[in-house]
Structures are given as C-alpha cells and as structure tokens.
C-alpha cells in the first residue's frame, strides 16, 4: 500500500517536471517571438498554454485523491501540499510566458521592443528561462544545493528590471506611452516568472530539510 502511494508521489513529481519543461519552452519561444516580431511563434506559445493547464488540472486531481484516500501525515503530507502549491506556480509561469507572447502578437508587424532595450529584454528572457530550467532539475532530483543557488539568482532579475525602469523614466525616452506600458508590463512578467521559480525552490528546500529558507528581499 505504501509502495503504491509513493509511486503516486513520484508520478506527481514527474508531471511537475513535465510542466516545468513546457514552461521553459514557452519562456524561450515567447521571448523570441517578442524580439523578432514573430506572430506565428507567438501564436504557438499562446496555444501551447492549454497543455500546461491540462497538466495542472491532472496534478490537482491526483493530489486531492491522495489526500482523501491516504490521509497522509508528516513528510508525505508536506509533499502533497507542496505539489499543489508548485503546480499553481508553474501554471502562473505559463500564463506569464503567454502574456509575453500576446504583447508580441498585439504589436505585430512592429516589434514591441525599442532597439536600445532589446539587449535588456533578451537578458531578462534568458535569466527567466535559465531559472525555469534550474527549477525543473531541482524538483526532479530534490536538489537542495541547486535550489539555494536559484534563490540567490533572483537578484539578477531584480537588477535587470531596475535597469528597465531607469530607461523608462529617463527624460530622453522618445517612444511614447504605448511602448512604455509594454516595457513596464514585460518587466513585471519576467520578474514574476523568476519569483515563482524562487517560490518553488524554497518549497524544495523545505521538503528536503524541514527548514524554511530566509527571504533575501
């Protein structure tokens, strides 16, 4: 009976990793669609979000089944509660990648990003993608050291977002209100992807060690 239960826990973990891999692709492709003004790529990201949503529903259904049937305690209960919270993080990350793609689609055939900000947005996309990749590996292997590194990496995303706002508030800004709103939203989307990745990393640390890591910001 316990073996079957732990097989179910592993199945849930595998689905979380599958979701994280899909989110990683969505972040990468959404950023590319944005920087290249590629409407077809943006549409693929938007359509692919349905698969992330289906996996979320599956994980939630299976988790609630195990909570009802097994009435777990201690570490097993923490694992199931963490699965519910992490699947919510992943679903939201997928939505945020979709929002990035929607801005690309909305501004097509123009590029939503002024030329001088393309390097910053590209770097934000790269950092977000890297963090999602790390969180996938962290969840897959319950890797505490990788989780700790991921928590620290959020500082880089915060720095990039501050850089965006400095440019937006500069008196030399010449791209108008519409572009400023797009850039402000994109900065928020990427920052939130990073925040959700950090949230997942903290949950892994707690599951493995029983300790709640201190927040750095």
CA 138/CA 141 separation, integer angstroms? 6
The domain segmentation of the chain, as residue ranges, is: 2-209
Helix/strand/coil for 57: helix
Contacts (Cβ under 8 Å, ≥6 apart) of 138: 146, 147, 150, 200, 201, 204
Contact 125, 28 (CB under 8 A): yes
CA 30/CA 19 separation, integer angstroms? 16
For tokens 């409407």, the residue is 39
Res 217 pLDDT > 60: no
Domain range 2-209, its CATH number among 1.10.8.100, 3.40.50.720, 3.40.50.300, 1.20.58.220:
1.20.58.220
Tens digits of per-residue pLDDT, 22-41? Answer: 999 999 999 999 999 999 99
Residue 72: pLDDT band (50, 70, 90) is confident
Contact 58, 32 (CB under 8 A): no
Burial of 39 (0-12, 13-18, 19+ CB in 10 A): middle
Determine the straight-line distance between the first and last CA of the chain, rounded to whole angstroms: 43
Tens digits of per-residue pLDDT, 118-141? Answer: 999 999 999 999 999 999 999 999
Res 208 pLDDT > 90: no
Please choose, from the candidates 152, 149, 156, the residue with its C-alpha nearest in 3D space to the C-alpha of residue 134. Answer: 149
Token pair belonging to 24: 């990683």
CA 21/CA 136 separation, integer angstroms? 7
Tens digits of per-residue pLDDT, 84-93? Answer: 999 999 999 9
pTM above 0.85, yes or no: yes
Helix ranges restricted to H, 71-117: 74-107
Contacts (Cβ under 8 Å, ≥6 apart) of 52: 19, 22, 23, 26, 90, 91, 94
Question: What is the pLDDT, as a whole number, of residue 158?
Answer: 93
Q: How many CB atoms lie within 10 A of CB 16?
A: 24
Tens digits of per-residue pLDDT, 143-200? Answer: 999 998 888 888 999 999 999 999 998 888 999 999 999 999 999 999 999 999 999 9
């Amino acid at each position: 009976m316990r073996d079957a239960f732990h097989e179910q826990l592993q199945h849930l973990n595998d689905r979380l990793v599958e979701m994280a891999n899909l989110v990683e692709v969505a972040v990468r492709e959404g950023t590319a669609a944005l920087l290249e003004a590629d409407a077809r790529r943006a549409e693929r990201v938007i359509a692919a979000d349905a698969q992330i949503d289906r996996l979320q529903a599956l994980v939630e259904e299976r988790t609630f089944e195990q909570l009802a049937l097994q009435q777990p305690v201690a570490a097993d209960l923490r694992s199931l509660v963490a699965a519910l919270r992490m699947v919510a993080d992943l679903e939201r990350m997928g939505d945020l990648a979709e929002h990035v793609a929607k801005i690309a689609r909305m501004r097509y055939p123009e590029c939503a990003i002024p030329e001088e900000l393309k390097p910053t947005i590209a770097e934000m996309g790269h950092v977000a993608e890297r963090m999602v990749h790390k969180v996938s590996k962290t969840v897959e292997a319950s890797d505490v050291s990788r989780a700790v590194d991921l928590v620290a990496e959020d500082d880089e995303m915060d720095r990039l977002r501050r850089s965006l706002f400095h440019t937006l508030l500069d008196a030399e800004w010449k791209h108008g209100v519409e572009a400023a709103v797009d850039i402000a939203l994109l900065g928020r989307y990427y920052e939130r992807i990073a925040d959700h990745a950090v949230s997942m990393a903290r949950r892994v640390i707690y599951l493995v060690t029983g300790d709640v890591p201190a927040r750095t910001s």
